[in-house]
Structure 1
């Protein structure tokens, strides 16, 4: 496929924070790219560089941004719509905010049309109006508008004259989807397009992307989406841009294999370090160049180990507070009813929350999910029925609004609150810096003002602040919004191990599958309860969708091994051992030489997966290398045993 653009020698730093260092990126026509990486690593910055809103630093060699002049056109859908700049635009016309030339024509037409109401026979005004309409058509305005309006219908946005600033976050996202999908650009950048959307809308968007011929790059925490709509993954890590051809799931499998290989190499290096240290202390009497090389190699091992550790992906060590309560039932609602003004929200509501429940709360936007949480926490009273809860029940809610942080504080002062240690609910304590490191904050960040952090880093800090506290019931309202994937994965593990109760309002289907043992679906003014995560509910949701499309069809409801230690013998070496002692060193040196030769052959190979013969040769060499390294390990074990007897 032809290349759309090519970026080389990309360097960018904000103060001491390096975003890109000699990074490069190539985008081909037909690429469907998932862009991933820790928050604050440069995902949105890369979008801004592609959109030429940010210019990389001056460097040698200089930054290169080659674009295919015949093919390269770009369209950027940011996380938030620019409502403040265009307060007068309603739903029907908001697409114009992304097309300044069309917006200008539209404004002039609006003025002309008002003037024509008072002077409808003015030939000058009629001529000007006709001229503007022709300009609008020449710029493909009508075609664009028609496509945009069709997508609004597709996403069930009907009240076209409503000002956009009056819409919910989910409704504004539907406008953004409609604008992006109607674009004719050759490269479309999507920045978190599914935040605040219900599952039905996400799946519609997913279908549209899957069936389109567009080239796009998408930042998203929704792993279902990434896996279904991408054919290439770009991972920003420590200033580098790493590309992988394949789906998100295939990339995870690759990372898993890479981490296994890193762990294997690290073990080898640590074992080698242990053996070489013993060699240096014992003073093996190897002569000449080989001995010098070995001494030099010993001094390089520690740095090699450190490099491997740095290459390993960091993870977030989350520690959810464990509640000490013994009572099983926390909350029970019987025959519950709730109305808002004249609108019925819930009726005949019967449900309970028990210790150990991991509940996914799903349903369309506006169905009553947040209202249900307010009822369970008794922030809102029932209009009918009864609610009973554990005496002194502790409920903590991590909501979408997330209280504003004091930007003048530092992460250390915020988390420590005047203390050097964080006192955790399980009775243990941890130094503030160590606690923040669990949330991927580097030591140099903890004493900087919070206003210097990226948006994603602030969200991570809010999570760290929130999770210091104990509770009987945790409620997470869209917890994965603006969190990076590494943080989400660790949050999943901690929720799975949490002993009390958890309710999660969310649309991240993978997150719900991985954390929840029960799903509550808000439907028809009540709660449908399912065992399992989102996957268990998906067939039911599809049935509901079919029921909506075919209302006449009756809905059938019937259906690590311990290391061996060396034991010193009370007696001296046998004659056989003395003879072996004279040869074991040369065997070690010969085996090490063999290993070096095999590695050199592997390095020199022009290896490509597309050549089956070379693949076979490479695999044979790998097998030889594994055998030689196993032999070397045995030889060193033998040498250590003999050396103790020879002392």
Structure 2
């Protein structure tokens, strides 16, 4: 079933044609990724398909009654609302029903309103949907729903916007760079969610692991032509390479044929019969193919690096706190030449604080930082993206230098440097305000490398960069002879470039892990599985019925066993037995209250029952947790 189709759509930005005469469709169940270079109009195309923008020509058709949700790269959220109001502000009747129920729970004294809300939930079969919404909000770490939108950070706003899109349960979900501002755990949860949910998806992302796991269809916009591949990202790479080889062979064949036919044309045949005219027409078609050039423009990064001395950076018992919150606690490390270190940790764990301590933007509370005299920092961060909007691209570069030193003693003009960063002559005179997100980042990277750094600090460098530029950046960084410190949520990027990791565990604790991110993730999963298996084994041992012979054997060897592992004390055993009885009583009362909810005519005190139910659920959770702790004791 076709959900959406685009026919011959065209869009220009001033004199610049973003795309022309694109035709494609999206069918139910397809999970489609759009891949193209920065500046080719990916974001604009998504907005047109989502109905947030219009095309200059062509038609976009959406199947009747199809519900579309759109996650923008830079979400435009209602700043005058709370998270609760924003998340539940949708035309979806289910969301309206759940919102009414959530509001009724906040005022349980109004029993009639609460009962009405519960009846609506029952009628709409909304209980499972409510649980799903709470799961989404919890996974995205959105807890305080009454927080004002205006008070949120950029990352929090992106997570709220994602929650707003997902809770709508749309037929077609359109997402622009969904992994930006998400930590690793959230990205992996979103991957699993999108992979397992039966939804239709169209997205733009630079996260190659994400593409590989989630998508089953790739659309590539290359030099104005749209190519379609049925398969994931790995399949796309394979088939794209085959396509380019086929095109190259076709051009070579056309060139050979063109040279032969050119001799025939030069003889200017006098005959003008049907065969002759057909051959002339065929000649011009061949000429058209032979004159094609495979455009293989790539960012060239061969700027000279400042000399790196023997001493890099030494950290001695570094400490930093903000009030009661510890960001770095007694951390020591000596950086070595050519090190490639990745930084991993949840948002707020102190990663950005650590980088600012290294560069001197912040001063430590304790300990000291000794920086080598030859160190030249190149610090790629979000603050550096704030370039003057009213300046042209070439003016931004010339403000730093007219001529740039390159490798092997060569120099390059500002215009020549911009050419290497894929800014053509016309684009060099474009105002910064007109650049796409990826083009801004490419320009920022250009200005950063002009300073010839030998210690590169990259804070989320991959956001908004197209995959082609990312591959070139990776190749450059692999050959970069200085030190490299990377904060990134792009797992492929981290795996390819880092040798070991600083793990920010929270409360100021930083540990050094010898390996890349995938190795660290595998280590943590094995550790978690081992812990679960051990807990399960201990629980089975506790619950396993013992024979008389086993009991006698335990009695004989009790002193030996006691030296190997701790058993329950008499008091803990009494508590364990007591908890089981209390849990049974609580479950019984919970069942009774549920029955009263289903038959409200049996009681008038729904408010009191609601409050009692909340207390019972909380007690059950606490007692189950304690029961598990005691059951694991040997």
- Residues 476, 505 of structure 1: 8 Å contact kept: yes
Distance 1:3 1:110 in 2: 36
Does structure 1 residue 514 correspond to structure 2 residue 496? yes
Q: 1:399 aligns with which of 372, 381, 392?
A: 381
How far is the alpha carbon of 1:108 from its aligned partner?
Answer: 11
**Kindly tell me: are residues 108 and 519 of structure 1, through their superposed partners in 2, closer, same or farther at Cα, counting changes over 3 Å?**
closer
- Aligned residue for 1:178, secondary structure, equals helix
**Kindly tell me: are residues 141 and 322 of structure 1, through their superposed partners in 2, closer, same or farther at Cα, counting changes over 3 Å?**
farther
Please list the CA deviations of residues 2-33 of structure 1 after superposition, one character each: whole Å capped at 9, or x if unmatched: 11122212122222222232211111101011
**Kindly tell me: are residues 549 and 241 of structure 1, through their superposed partners in 2, closer, same or farther at Cα, counting changes over 3 Å?**
farther
**Kindly tell me: are residues 154 and 328 of structure 1, through their superposed partners in 2, closer, same or farther at Cα, counting changes over 3 Å?**
same
- Residues 472, 501 of structure 1: 8 Å contact kept: yes
- Residues 421, 431 of structure 1: 8 Å contact kept: yes
Aligned partner of 1:18 in structure 2 is 17
Matches for 1:600-619 after TM superposition, within 5 Å: none
Matches for 1:64-143 after TM superposition, within 5 Å: 64-69=59-64, 72-83=66-77, 85-90=78-83, 92-99=84-91
- Residues 96, 102 of structure 1: 8 Å contact kept: no
**Kindly tell me: are residues 137 and 77 of structure 1, through their superposed partners in 2, closer, same or farther at Cα, counting changes over 3 Å?**
farther
- Residues 258, 290 of structure 2: 8 Å contact kept: no
Does 523-532 or 207-216 show the bigger shift? Answer: 523-532
Does structure 1 residue 325 correspond to structure 2 residue 307? yes
**Kindly tell me: are residues 150 and 298 of structure 1, through their superposed partners in 2, closer, same or farther at Cα, counting changes over 3 Å?**
closer
How far is the alpha carbon of 1:407 from its aligned partner?
Answer: 2.0
**Kindly tell me: are residues 28 and 106 of structure 1, through their superposed partners in 2, closer, same or farther at Cα, counting changes over 3 Å?**
closer
Aligned partner of 2:189 in structure 1 is 204
- Aligned residue for 1:332, secondary structure, equals strand
- Aligned residue for 1:8, secondary structure, equals strand
Does structure 1 residue 527 correspond to structure 2 residue 520? no
Unmatched runs of 5 consecutive residues or more in structure 2: 538-634
Please list the CA deviations of residues 492-536 of structure 1 after superposition, one character each: whole Å capped at 9, or x if unmatched: 111111111111100101111222233322225433334443222
TM-score by length of 1: 0.72
Distance 1:546 1:131 in 2: 45
How far is the alpha carbon of 1:256 from its aligned partner?
Answer: 1.8
Aligned partner of 1:261 in structure 2 is 246
- Aligned residue for 1:401, secondary structure, equals helix
- Residues 35, 218 of structure 1: 8 Å contact kept: yes
- Residues 90, 96 of structure 2: 8 Å contact kept: no
Aligned partner of 1:581 in structure 2 is none
Distance 1:416 1:226 in 2: 38
Distance 1:457 1:211 in 2: 34
Aligned partner of 1:442 in structure 2 is 424
Count of aligned pairs between the two proteins: 534
Does structure 1 residue 31 correspond to structure 2 residue 30? yes
Distance 1:549 1:152 in 2: 26
**Kindly tell me: are residues 521 and 219 of structure 1, through their superposed partners in 2, closer, same or farther at Cα, counting changes over 3 Å?**
same
- Residues 251, 292 of structure 2: 8 Å contact kept: no
Matches for 1:291-310 after TM superposition, within 5 Å: 303-309=288-294
Matches for 1:614-633 after TM superposition, within 5 Å: none
How far is the alpha carbon of 1:44 from its aligned partner?
Answer: 1.8
- Residues 385, 440 of structure 2: 8 Å contact kept: no
**Kindly tell me: are residues 414 and 275 of structure 1, through their superposed partners in 2, closer, same or farther at Cα, counting changes over 3 Å?**
farther
How far is the alpha carbon of 1:438 from its aligned partner?
Answer: 2.2
Distance 2:530 2:316 in 1: 29
- Residues 149, 157 of structure 2: 8 Å contact kept: yes
Unmatched runs of 5 consecutive residues or more in structure 1: 555-647
Distance 1:326 1:454 in 2: 35
How far is the alpha carbon of 1:428 from its aligned partner?
Answer: 2.3
How far is the alpha carbon of 1:469 from its aligned partner?
Answer: 1.6
- Residues 530, 536 of structure 1: 8 Å contact kept: no
- Aligned residue for 2:80, secondary structure, equals coil
How far is the alpha carbon of 1:241 from its aligned partner?
Answer: 3.0
- Aligned residue for 1:244, secondary structure, equals strand
Distance 2:54 2:317 in 1: 61
Aligned partner of 1:251 in structure 2 is 236
Does structure 1 residue 339 correspond to structure 2 residue 321? yes
How far is the alpha carbon of 1:394 from its aligned partner?
Answer: 1.1
How far is the alpha carbon of 1:320 from its aligned partner?
Answer: 5.0
Distance 1:233 1:67 in 2: 20
**Kindly tell me: are residues 350 and 184 of structure 1, through their superposed partners in 2, closer, same or farther at Cα, counting changes over 3 Å?**
same
**Kindly tell me: are residues 403 and 549 of structure 1, through their superposed partners in 2, closer, same or farther at Cα, counting changes over 3 Å?**
farther
Distance 1:193 1:422 in 2: 36
Distance 2:74 2:90 in 1: 12
How far is the alpha carbon of 1:100 from its aligned partner?
Answer: 9.1
Distance 1:161 1:546 in 2: 37
Please list the CA deviations of residues 146-191 of structure 1 after superposition, one character each: whole Å capped at 9, or x if unmatched: 5322211233333333323333333333333333332222111111
**Kindly tell me: are residues 536 and 274 of structure 1, through their superposed partners in 2, closer, same or farther at Cα, counting changes over 3 Å?**
farther
Distance 2:286 2:490 in 1: 43
How far is the alpha carbon of 1:64 from its aligned partner?
Answer: 3.5
Distance 2:268 2:23 in 1: 49
- Residues 38, 436 of structure 2: 8 Å contact kept: yes
Aligned partner of 1:57 in structure 2 is 56
Aligned partner of 2:411 in structure 1 is 429
How far is the alpha carbon of 1:293 from its aligned partner?
Answer: 9.6
How far is the alpha carbon of 1:196 from its aligned partner?
Answer: 1.0
Matches for 1:367-406 after TM superposition, within 5 Å: 367-406=349-388
TM-score by length of 2: 0.73
Distance 2:164 2:260 in 1: 63
Does structure 1 residue 453 correspond to structure 2 residue 438? no
Q: 1:487 aligns with which of 469, 482, 487?
A: 469
**Kindly tell me: are residues 391 and 491 of structure 1, through their superposed partners in 2, closer, same or farther at Cα, counting changes over 3 Å?**
same
Please list the CA deviations of residues 239-272 of structure 1 after superposition, one character each: whole Å capped at 9, or x if unmatched: 3432211101110111122233344445556677
Distance 2:151 2:26 in 1: 38
- Residues 344, 502 of structure 2: 8 Å contact kept: yes
Please list the CA deviations of residues 95-115 of structure 1 after superposition, one character each: whole Å capped at 9, or x if unmatched: 134549999999999999999
- Aligned residue for 1:520, secondary structure, equals strand
Does 241-250 or 455-464 show the bigger shift? Answer: 455-464
**Kindly tell me: are residues 510 and 114 of structure 1, through their superposed partners in 2, closer, same or farther at Cα, counting changes over 3 Å?**
closer
**Kindly tell me: are residues 438 and 545 of structure 1, through their superposed partners in 2, closer, same or farther at Cα, counting changes over 3 Å?**
farther
Aligned partner of 1:541 in structure 2 is 524
How far is the alpha carbon of 1:385 from its aligned partner?
Answer: 3.3
C-alpha RMSD over aligned residues: 4.0
Distance 1:380 1:244 in 2: 49
How far is the alpha carbon of 1:339 from its aligned partner?
Answer: 2.5
Distance 1:345 1:372 in 2: 8
Does structure 1 residue 192 correspond to structure 2 residue 191? no
- Residues 49, 56 of structure 1: 8 Å contact kept: yes
- Aligned residue for 2:199, secondary structure, equals coil
